[in-house]
Amino acid sequence: MATIFSKGLSTNTRRWSDLDLDFTAHPVTKDIVTKNDVEAVKRSIRNLILTNRYERPFQPELDGGVTRHLFELSTPHTKYDVESAVRTAISNFETRAEVLDIVVGGNLDRNGFDVTINFRVINDPEPVTIELFLERLR
Protein backbone atom coordinates (compact mmCIF):
# COMPACT_ATOMS: atom_id res chain seq x y z
CA MET A 1 0.00 0.00 0.00
CA ALA A 2 1.35 3.36 -0.96
CA THR A 3 1.61 5.98 1.77
CA ILE A 4 0.27 9.47 1.53
CA PHE A 5 3.79 10.86 1.47
CA SER A 6 4.50 9.21 -1.82
CA LYS A 7 1.94 11.54 -3.36
CA GLY A 8 3.96 14.58 -2.46
CA LEU A 9 1.15 15.95 -0.29
CA SER A 10 2.43 19.15 1.14
CA THR A 11 -0.21 21.68 0.17
CA ASN A 12 -3.95 21.89 0.57
CA THR A 13 -4.45 22.14 -3.15
CA ARG A 14 -4.59 18.34 -3.41
CA ARG A 15 -7.93 17.08 -4.65
CA TRP A 16 -9.21 13.65 -3.83
CA SER A 17 -11.52 11.90 -6.20
CA ASP A 18 -12.93 8.43 -6.23
CA LEU A 19 -15.60 6.31 -7.80
CA ASP A 20 -18.89 6.04 -5.99
CA LEU A 21 -19.48 2.34 -5.46
CA ASP A 22 -23.23 2.94 -5.66
CA PHE A 23 -22.55 3.60 -9.36
CA THR A 24 -25.22 6.28 -9.57
CA ALA A 25 -25.49 7.89 -12.99
CA HIS A 26 -25.11 11.66 -13.25
CA PRO A 27 -28.55 13.11 -14.11
CA VAL A 28 -27.20 15.27 -16.92
CA THR A 29 -24.04 13.65 -18.27
CA LYS A 30 -25.24 10.08 -17.56
CA ASP A 31 -21.66 9.36 -16.52
CA ILE A 32 -20.82 7.66 -13.23
CA VAL A 33 -20.90 10.10 -10.35
CA THR A 34 -17.56 10.64 -8.64
CA LYS A 35 -16.88 11.47 -5.02
CA ASN A 36 -14.47 14.31 -4.44
CA ASP A 37 -12.33 15.60 -1.59
CA VAL A 38 -13.85 15.03 1.85
CA GLU A 39 -16.68 12.94 0.43
CA ALA A 40 -14.13 10.58 -1.13
CA VAL A 41 -12.36 10.10 2.18
CA LYS A 42 -15.64 9.66 4.04
CA ARG A 43 -16.74 6.96 1.60
CA SER A 44 -13.35 5.31 1.89
CA ILE A 45 -13.60 5.13 5.69
CA ARG A 46 -17.09 3.72 5.45
CA ASN A 47 -15.93 1.02 3.00
CA LEU A 48 -12.98 0.20 5.21
CA ILE A 49 -14.98 -0.24 8.39
CA LEU A 50 -17.55 -2.45 6.70
CA THR A 51 -14.87 -4.75 5.23
CA ASN A 52 -14.43 -8.11 6.94
CA ARG A 53 -11.25 -10.08 7.32
CA TYR A 54 -10.53 -12.32 4.25
CA GLU A 55 -13.11 -10.40 2.22
CA ARG A 56 -10.48 -8.93 -0.10
CA PRO A 57 -8.61 -11.45 -2.22
CA PHE A 58 -4.97 -11.95 -1.17
CA GLN A 59 -5.28 -9.29 1.55
CA PRO A 60 -6.33 -11.19 4.68
CA GLU A 61 -4.97 -8.43 6.91
CA LEU A 62 -7.40 -5.85 5.54
CA ASP A 63 -10.10 -5.75 8.20
CA GLY A 64 -12.55 -3.15 9.50
CA GLY A 65 -12.53 -5.11 12.74
CA VAL A 66 -16.08 -4.39 13.88
CA THR A 67 -18.15 -7.33 12.61
CA ARG A 68 -16.92 -9.77 15.22
CA HIS A 69 -18.14 -7.41 17.97
CA LEU A 70 -21.63 -7.02 16.58
CA PHE A 71 -22.66 -10.41 17.88
CA GLU A 72 -21.62 -9.54 21.43
CA LEU A 73 -23.89 -8.14 24.16
CA SER A 74 -24.13 -4.39 24.20
CA THR A 75 -21.87 -3.63 27.18
CA PRO A 76 -19.40 -0.81 27.79
CA HIS A 77 -16.61 -3.26 27.01
CA THR A 78 -18.08 -4.05 23.60
CA LYS A 79 -18.49 -0.36 22.81
CA TYR A 80 -14.87 0.22 23.74
CA ASP A 81 -13.81 -2.71 21.52
CA VAL A 82 -15.77 -1.30 18.56
CA GLU A 83 -14.24 2.14 19.06
CA SER A 84 -10.77 0.64 19.28
CA ALA A 85 -11.31 -1.45 16.15
CA VAL A 86 -12.51 1.57 14.13
CA ARG A 87 -9.57 3.65 15.31
CA THR A 88 -7.07 0.89 14.43
CA ALA A 89 -8.58 0.32 10.96
CA ILE A 90 -8.43 4.00 10.05
CA SER A 91 -4.94 4.33 11.45
CA ASN A 92 -3.67 1.33 9.46
CA PHE A 93 -5.45 1.71 6.15
CA GLU A 94 -6.70 5.29 5.72
CA THR A 95 -3.71 7.55 6.09
CA ARG A 96 -5.57 10.58 4.72
CA ALA A 97 -7.70 10.85 7.87
CA GLU A 98 -6.63 11.97 11.34
CA VAL A 99 -9.15 10.73 13.90
CA LEU A 100 -10.29 13.33 16.41
CA ASP A 101 -12.93 11.41 18.30
CA ILE A 102 -15.04 8.27 18.04
CA VAL A 103 -18.34 7.87 19.87
CA VAL A 104 -20.03 4.47 20.03
CA GLY A 105 -23.57 4.23 21.37
CA GLY A 106 -25.70 1.14 21.74
CA ASN A 107 -28.97 1.25 19.86
CA LEU A 108 -30.97 -1.40 21.73
CA ASP A 109 -34.16 -0.98 19.72
CA ARG A 110 -32.43 -1.70 16.43
CA ASN A 111 -29.92 -4.26 17.81
CA GLY A 112 -26.85 -2.36 16.66
CA PHE A 113 -24.40 0.40 17.41
CA ASP A 114 -24.49 4.05 16.38
CA VAL A 115 -20.95 5.08 15.57
CA THR A 116 -19.94 8.70 15.11
CA ILE A 117 -16.45 9.33 13.79
CA ASN A 118 -15.00 12.82 13.97
CA PHE A 119 -11.90 13.23 11.89
CA ARG A 120 -9.91 15.72 9.91
CA VAL A 121 -8.67 15.18 6.39
CA ILE A 122 -4.95 15.62 6.51
CA ASN A 123 -4.78 18.57 4.12
CA ASP A 124 -7.95 20.22 5.42
CA PRO A 125 -8.34 21.79 8.88
CA GLU A 126 -12.14 21.40 8.92
CA PRO A 127 -13.40 18.58 11.13
CA VAL A 128 -15.64 16.06 9.40
CA THR A 129 -18.22 13.76 10.93
CA ILE A 130 -19.41 10.36 9.70
CA GLU A 131 -22.36 8.66 11.30
CA LEU A 132 -22.69 4.94 10.81
CA PHE A 133 -25.14 2.43 12.10
CA LEU A 134 -23.51 -0.96 12.56
CA GLU A 135 -25.74 -4.02 12.69
CA ARG A 136 -25.14 -7.72 12.28
CA LEU A 137 -26.75 -7.96 8.89
CA ARG A 138 -26.27 -5.39 6.21
CA distances from 5 to 11, 35, 45, 77, 115 (A): 12, 22, 19, 36, 29
Q: Which of 69, 94, 113, 115 binds other proteins (CB under 8 A)?
A: 94
Closest approach, Cβ 17 to other proteins, in A, equals 6
**Residue type at 16 in one-letter notation:** W
Binding of other proteins by 67 (CB under 8 A): no
Binding of other proteins by 18 (CB under 8 A): yes
Binding of other proteins by 8 (CB under 8 A): no
CA distances from 45 to 26, 31, 38, 39, 88 (A): 23, 24, 11, 10, 12
Binding of other proteins by 91 (CB under 8 A): no
**Residue type at 25 in one-letter notation:** A
Return residues touching other proteins (CB under 8 A): 1-2, 7, 15-21, 34-35, 40, 43-48, 51, 56-59, 62, 93-96
